Amino acid sequence: MKRIEKVGVVGSGTMGAQIAMVCAMAGYQVVLQDIQKDRLKKAEESLHFHMNNRIAKGKLTEEEVEKAFRLLTYTTSLEDFQDVDFVIEAIVEKLSVKRDVFAELDQITPQHTILATNSSTIVSSKIASATNRPEKVCNTHFFNPPLVMELVEVVCGEHTSAETADTAFQFIKNINKLPVLLNKEISGFVANRILGALLDEAVYLLENDYASHEEIDLIVQKALKHPIGPFALLDLTGLDVSYYVKQERYEETGLESDRPSKLIEQKVKNGELGRKTGKGFYSYQNKITT
């Protein structure tokens, strides 16, 4: 396996932008791609905001941050991935869109390049068949926000080679994150399956008027010692993300228990996606776009 020197990240939302910065901070050359220039601009502005905060708090020096930004470039074209060694896809949770992107990446990137998806629920076996290198496809699931969260789930399907798994595992260590290797695929992996059960129960309790979303969040924080309540968490990650995850799971299983809740569906239709739109279960004075 060729040594990883350059990383490509597809998607400049919160996950993609911060994953790109994590890689740059570890000394890798990074190309961050998005199909819309305005998203890339917002991603760059957001990263400067977060990194300046770390400088102000004494966590990083100006020199460290400036060096990372010099390693990070922005593009609207996947053609700029022609010399990357490792790709992390972090786009919308829609299988058909991911398959299209991986098929394009397969044609553009060198044959040695590992193609990883950051999907929080879609197993890579559903994506790998869109390429001619299924043995080099895996999941590397970062948690939100990647600049803060330490753990990354590296998930291997039957198609993933041992060499790819080992390389991905070591790469995650090299970017100063804590990798955990899952040797079998399961939709949602470990953390999100456990978290999903909690979120589903919280939505059920709200929909059936057992308590308000504020009260449920308070109970979870004070009684279970979670740092953030389930509805505040949904707002943080984006209600659209939750909706698409549930929709993909429902299409896979056909189980009514996996269907997105009517409450979440209505909020998505209303454009109330959480922090990034200024309103979700809570209202926010300033929109957070990345």
12 is catalytic: no
Q: What is the DSSP letter of 274?
A: B
* Cα 6 to chain centroid, rounded: 19
Among 153, 185, 248, 272, which one carries the catalytic annotation?
A: 153
Yes or no: say if 147 and 18 are a contact pair by the CB < 8 Å rule: yes
Going across the sheet that includes 114-117, the strands are 72-75, 29-33, 6-10, 86-89, 114-117, 137-142, 151-155, 178-182
135 labelled catalytic: no
Integer Cα distance of 231 and 147 in angstroms: 22
Give the active site residue among 89, 192, 242, 272. 192
Choosing from 118, 119, 120, 242, which is the catalytic residue?
120
Annotation says 192 is catalytic? yes
Cis peptide before 260 (omega within 30 of 0): no
Q: Has 153 been annotated as catalytic? A: yes
Strands 86-89, 137-142: parallel, antiparallel or unpaired by DSSP? unpaired
The residues annotated with a catalytic role in the active site are 120, 141, 153, 192
